Amino acid sequence: MKLILNADDLGFSPLVNQTIFKLHKLGRLTSASLVVNMPASQLALEEINDHPNLSVGIHLNLTKGIPITPVECIPSLVRLTGSFYHAAFFYPLAVAGAIAPTEVQAECRSQIELALKAGLEPTHLDSHNHWHMLPRFKKIILKLAQEYEIPSTRPTNPRHSLLPSRIWLQAVVDRNFPLRFPDSVHYVLALDDWMNLFGKPRALFFGKILNRILNKPNVTLELVLHPGRAPDPDFPRDSISPKRRQWDCDFVCSAEFEAWLESINGKISQGR
């Protein structure tokens, strides 16, 4: 099994940036996804060259902060204040067809081109709050990756997201995905989803069903982390707090995580 340890939200705050780069130095991260429109995004871009073995992609963002594209060009994406809708409003609007795909593509292109002009050579594309898995938008990220010759994207099929539900995991096993995707199966597991109220992975994380999925041939697991430290005075409002982000860091640096890797025959890959 190929294991990618990816940190989302590079650029959220100076402390988030520092934490991500530190985890990479410790061998706990292989890649990171940069949000380009946040206050600490430029700081991250300035330091990326100091970490040549860290694969850095673009975390396309439509739900936090201010867009790169002039707001008059993307009216369906922004509130009257000129900022993006929060995810809780974005998703209902998208499902109702009120978000224009042409505007989504325009803003994503602006974000990619900003990163390219700053000297970034992105290794992958994904999205903040996983909006690229919505049926109306999933073709956009694939088209942009091809257009800008970006090597990979996070899977657009929501069934490839491993969720902490016995029913969901059993459905993945029963669908026998490796037979339908014989070349490779790329699953995504966001560690925060699997944490309990005490900052520890739920029992299902160590269970037989997930183990069966990950021990199949040709599986790639992208373990998504949201690193951070608490307190963080510069942290923007987000559904994943600095305290919860610190839980991710603590777990991947623990002996318990090493034991889990051994149980799934996982070996941390270099880069993507």
Q: Look up the pTM and report it.
A: 0.95
Place of tokens 């339908």: 180
- Determine which helix (DSSP H) or strand (DSSP E) holds 222, and give its type and residue range: strand 219-225
Residue 17, token pair as written in the block: 């940036």
Collapsing DSSP states into helix, strand and coil, what is residue 82?
coil
Confidence check: pLDDT of 70 > 50: yes
Dist. CA 6–CA 83, nearest whole Å: 27
Tabulate helix, strand, coil % of the chain (nearest 5). 45, 15, 40
- Domain harbouring 206, CATH code: 3.20.20.370
What is the tens place of the pLDDT at every residue in 203-242? Answer: 999 999 999 889 887 889 999 999 999 999 999 999 999 9
Confidence check: pLDDT of 83 > 50: yes
User: Which domain range does residue 31 map to?
Assistant: 2-268
Peptide bond just before 231 cis, omega within 30 deg:
yes
More confident residue, 98 or 2: 98
Dist. CA 225–CA 28, nearest whole Å: 10
Confidence check: pLDDT of 184 > 70: yes
Collapsing DSSP states into helix, strand and coil, what is residue 132?
helix
What is the tens place of the pLDDT at every residue in 125-157? Answer: 999 999 999 999 999 999 999 999 999 999 998
Q: What pLDDT is stored for residue 216 in this prediction?
A: 81
Number of domain units in the chain: 1
**Arithmetic mean of pLDDT over the chain:** 94
Q: What pLDDT is stored for residue 269 in this prediction?
A: 81
Confidence check: pLDDT of 113 > 50: yes
Collapsing DSSP states into helix, strand and coil, what is residue 139?
helix
More confident residue, 44 or 182: 44
Collapsing DSSP states into helix, strand and coil, what is residue 263?
helix
Q: Would you say how long the chain is, in residues?
A: 272
* Per-residue pLDDT band at 177 (split at 50, 70, 90): low
